[in-house]
Amino acid sequence: MTFDFTNKNVLITGGSRGIGSVAAKLFADAGANVIITYNANKKAAEDTIASLGAGDHSFYQLDVADAIAIEHFFDEFSKKYDRLDILVNNAAAHLEHKILETRFDTWRQNWEQTLQTNLMGPANMCYFAAKIMVKQQAGKIINVSSRGAFRGEPDNPAYGASKAGVNSMSQSLALVLAPHNISVHIIAPGFVSTEMATDKLSGPNGEAIKSQSPFGRVAKPEEVATLIAVYASEGLEFASAGIVDINGASYLRS
């Protein structure tokens, strides 16, 4: 599949590893200027940027759970870049908090951290991105959701709730931003074979996780990144507000 993002400025949160890093490489290979954010692993961000080749690429430390930090980030972004063509909200937290086994203080903290990172973070990123995109009367926002928004997350209920919130927020924003030629798309992966998933996939429950899909495996980061690039491409604006599953038929809805 061939993409052309020549001279497009693409901002990816959580772009230092996993889906974000693979998406950064895909966009860069297609001619984009790629800007990634990372939370803690500076070395991974440096390595990702170094792998992108030619282009006006850059990376920034950013905790998307911190609203003030997001505001400051966009101040810095606007000093270097005069456009934002594509925003990919990919950064997320996945913290276990089983209701029958977790202390209340941990339960509360994990809910707050998850919602701040997974819902308020994308919401605030969308806020500042929309200000830029409205001025240029063009833009694409791709929000990474999850099948957990639909099937439930019994061990991580805040994660499922946060992703359901991302779906609803994205559809609301799609209505407001469409008159400004800005489309909002939602990608909902199932389990993906990222670095963070290595322990689970190689552990005692690994085969059971893979068997959730009739393909007998989980998604590759490249498959999710490709779908992100598809919806970031020109010509699919009318798909705005749609939620696209990529879970290998491990969860079906209609």
Q: b/e for 214-229, b at 16 or more Cβ within 10 A?
A: eeeebbebebbbbbbb
- For the beta carbon of residue 176, count every other beta carbon within 10 angstroms: 12
Residue 163 in tokens: 């992703």
The catalytic residue positions are 159
Distance CA 44, CA 196 (A): 13
Distance CA 151, CA 245 (A): 12
Q: In a 3-state reduction of DSSP, which class is residue 99? A: coil
Distance CA 77, CA 79 (A): 5
Distance CA 254, CA 249 (A): 12
Note the helical H segments in 51-138. 67-80, 104-115, 121-136
